[in-house]
Amino acid sequence: QQQRVEILKTLYRKADILIFDEPTAVLTPQEIQELIVTMKNLAAEGKAIILITHKLEEIRQAADRVTVIRSGKSLETFNAKNVSAITLAEKMVGRKVSFTTEKKAAKTGKDILKINDLVVKDAENVTKVDHLSLDIRAGEIIGIAGIDGNGQTELVQAVTGLTHSQSGEIILDGKNITNKTPRKIIKAGTSHIPEDRLRHGLEINMPLADNMVIENFYEKPYARMGILQGKAIADHAKKLIKQFDVKMTSIDEPAGSLSGGNQQKAVVARELSRDSKLIVAAQPTRGLDVGAIEYIHKQLIKQRDLGKAVMLISFELDEILDLADRIAVISSGKIIGVVNTKDTTKEELGLMMTGVGLRSARKELEASKNKNKAGVK
């Protein structure tokens, strides 16, 4: 609805050129299709539309022409209907990329995270997480699917200690971490890839090396007798930068000078290098190119195969369907249903994200399928 209001504002001002910058990041599949129809109708009325997005299939559906940009330079322009997503991806990255992440069947163990009847309110005393319960086992990725603003952010902040919960409990490997400080939750065995890397992931004015130990700088070997050990910090940063292929000129340069993709890789490197039991990955690939996305996906699968529990929060249904073993759908702060990834579809998840229960969603999709069959006959 907010998206439509923005479009109306530009039309009211009699704009002839409309620029859509990542317009589908927080929309359901159904809403994305509605937006594409709206864009096509505007183009038919004589408006010029520039669509900026890293979602390649949406470009092919919505655009007439597509220009690939890499490192600030225009590489090539294609007829959108005649170019494949694979070709576009290879042009964007400069190498072959895979759109699916290979993974073995999950070998799950004991419950690592148990959330029981959790309630979280915001600063205005509005309930954002509403009596939510969820379990995540060792050796699995559970995806949290939902429209932006339905409690995902508050859920993550409660689990990682960044906000206070009003009631309920959060149990990490048998220990109650409800309303503990972030430092205590980190020491208990939690890694956190935050949705906003600049606000919660990095101190952009500090050297990259210092950012790589920002959570445990006070521990050996990075500090002795309260004095930071520069060589140990530098050696650790160099090791992670090489291992996770972070592109930069020097470990002493400010983290803010890195590109968005390399900032994200640095955060991922720091969080996955620690021996944690739970990895909370919130929008881990937001705004990244297909090459960086492919890399981070492989790293999350690797952690899952090492027996870690992974909570993946993403607005990208393709990402959740590709990575998750189970998917929990959240709407208005409640878990609407939990499904095995292999047993669900984008359309089913999209309906559930709007608040429709699992049974009702399946009935609605079955009725729609039968209606379409009857129409064909």
Which tens digits make up the pLDDT trace of 22-41?
Answer: 787 667 677 888 889 989 99
Dist CA 163 CA 154 (whole Å): 7
Phi, psi of 46, deg, nearest 5 = 100, 5
Whether the ω angle into residue 207 lies within 30 degrees of 0, i.e. cis, is no
Domain 2-93 matches domain 111-344 at the CATH topology level: yes
Dist CA 136 CA 309 (whole Å): 6
Which of 157, 137, 154 has the alpha carbon at shortest distance from 146? 154
Q: How far is CA 213 from CA 187, 188, 296, 303, in A?
A: 13, 17, 20, 20
Q: How far is CA 63 from CA 26, 188, 214, 240, 287, in A?
A: 20, 48, 43, 40, 20
pLDDT at position 121 is: 95
CATH topology for 111-344?
Rossmann fold (3.40.50)
Reading the block at residue 187, the tokens are: 């020491």
Helix and strand totals (H; E) in the chain: 13, 16
- The alpha carbon of residue 375 and the mean position of all alpha carbons in its chain are separated, in whole angstroms, by 39
Dist CA 240 CA 248 (whole Å): 12
pLDDT at position 287 is: 65
pLDDT at position 164 is: 95
Q: Which residues of 215-250 are buried (b: 16+ CB within 10 A; e: fewer)?
A: bbeeeeebbeeeeebeeebbebbeebbeebebebee
SS3 63: coil
Q: What's the predicted TM-score (pTM) here?
A: 0.80
CATH architecture of residue range(s) 2-93: 3-Layer(aba) Sandwich (3.40)
Contact (CB, 8 A) for 265 and 237: no
DSSP 201: I
pLDDT at position 99 is: 67
Reading the block at residue 225, the tokens are: 């007798």
pLDDT at position 230 is: 92
Which of 317, 318, 326 has the alpha carbon at shortest distance from 139? 326
Contact (CB, 8 A) for 222 and 233: yes
Domain ranges of the chain: 2-93, 111-344
Dihedral of the alpha carbons of 303, 309, 311, 317, in degrees to the nearest 10: 60
Q: Percentage of residues in the chain with pLDDT exceeding 90?
A: 56
SS3 76: strand
- Residue recorded with tokens 């979280």: 120
- Bridge partners, residue 172, by sequence: 113, 175
SS3 365: helix
Sheet holding 167-172: strands in order across?
A: 127-137, 111-121, 167-172, 175-176
Q: What is the mean pLDDT, run by run of 10 residues, along the chain of 377 residues?
A: 82 90 75 88 93 84 90 87 84 75 88 97 94 97 92 96 96 97 95 90 94 91 92 94 87 90 90 93 82 86 95 91 96 94 91 88 84 67
pLDDT at position 274 is: 87
pLDDT at position 64 is: 93
Dist CA 342 CA 350 (whole Å): 16
SS3 351: helix
